[in-house]
Amino acid sequence: MTTPDFAKLRAERDAAIEKMVKEAARQLWGDEAADGISYHVNHGGGTWVCYCACADGGPCEHEFSGWRDFEDGLGGETFCQRCGMGAMSHSMHTCWE
């Protein structure tokens, strides 16, 4: 099995999301506003730094290791060394059962 080309997968995903968001914005606010909007949409368990298709059984770019405590002191979690996403929010987005 070859390593997936995450950079390409991310670029394709981001382009698809951007197109979708801009099209929606264009219908709501018109061309000018649509070109100026900024958006932050996480797709599934992915982030702008890491590609993740765990929800579809696809490849995942997150590199979970290390440990950090929750701010409220009630436990902790391992987190991604690349983007900082916590394992908790990752599984919230990718485990549907």
Provide DSSP, 6-50: HHHHHHHHHHHHHHHHHHHHHHHH-HHHHHH-------TT--SSS
Q: Is 87 in the site for Zn ion (CB under 5 A)?
A: no
Site stretch for Zn ion (CB under 5 A), options 3-11, 32-40, 51-59, 68-76: 51-59
Is residue 62 part of the contact set for Zn ion (CB under 5 A)? yes
Residue 28 bridge partners (DSSP): none
Does residue number 83 form part of the binding site for Zn ion (CB under 5 A)? yes
Q: Which residues contact Zn ion (rule: CB under 5 A)?
A: 45, 50, 52, 54, 60, 62, 80, 82-83, 85
